[in-house]
Amino acid sequence: MPFSHPSKSSCNELVSYYAGAIKGKTILTTGVSPTSIGAPFVRALATAGPRLLILAGRNLDKLQQVADEITTAHPEVDVRLLQLDLGSLSAVRKAAEEVNVWDDVPVIDVLVTNAGIMATPYVLSPDGYESQFAVNHLAHFLFVNLVMDKLLASPSPRVVSATRKGHRFSPIRWGDINFDVSS
């Protein structure tokens, strides 16, 4: 490998190394906005010539900014936007339904679950789960499963989860998922 360790490599180094695996693929990435880590990631992906980049996030205006940058720099790469609010499981279902009816997108070769929140106040999601757990884990798990048929239609499907080390601070309390009871 031309880089020492994936966690110490830049997006551009990784994309350069995996360019052959990216070219011609359909890649859906969550958490893409101009100031997120998703934006430089998808801009780097565009340099390798994917067939389609699907940019998913809550704010369509912010997604459009990143899409416009990609289209300007790489007009040969198709870009599509997907409104995906991971804070609500019903919104996740709605976004997955939208993806699943796109007849012109028969497969998703790579789904990158990049979106996340951290260090937010303790708030319950509309579905009754602690917001960070809901957004960072439950919503992505649901979304991946709801678009699984499009993933499995790919000859070499991949789900890539961009994660942090926050899970190492404390285990999941399966009997107290929202940390409502003092330990």
Cα–Cα distance, 74 to 68 (Å, whole number): 10
Cα–Cα distance, 18 to 27 (Å, whole number): 13
Give, in order, the Cα–Cα distances in Å from 44 to each of 2, 62, 167.
17, 18, 28
- pLDDT, tens digit (0-9, with 9 covering 90-100), for 17-56: 888 888 999 999 999 989 888 898 899 999 999 999 999 9
Res 117: pLDDT: 67
pLDDT at 71 over 50: yes
Res 183: pLDDT: 57
Res 168: pLDDT: 64
Res 116: pLDDT: 75
- pLDDT, tens digit (0-9, with 9 covering 90-100), for 75-121: 999 999 999 999 999 999 999 999 999 999 999 999 998 877 677 77
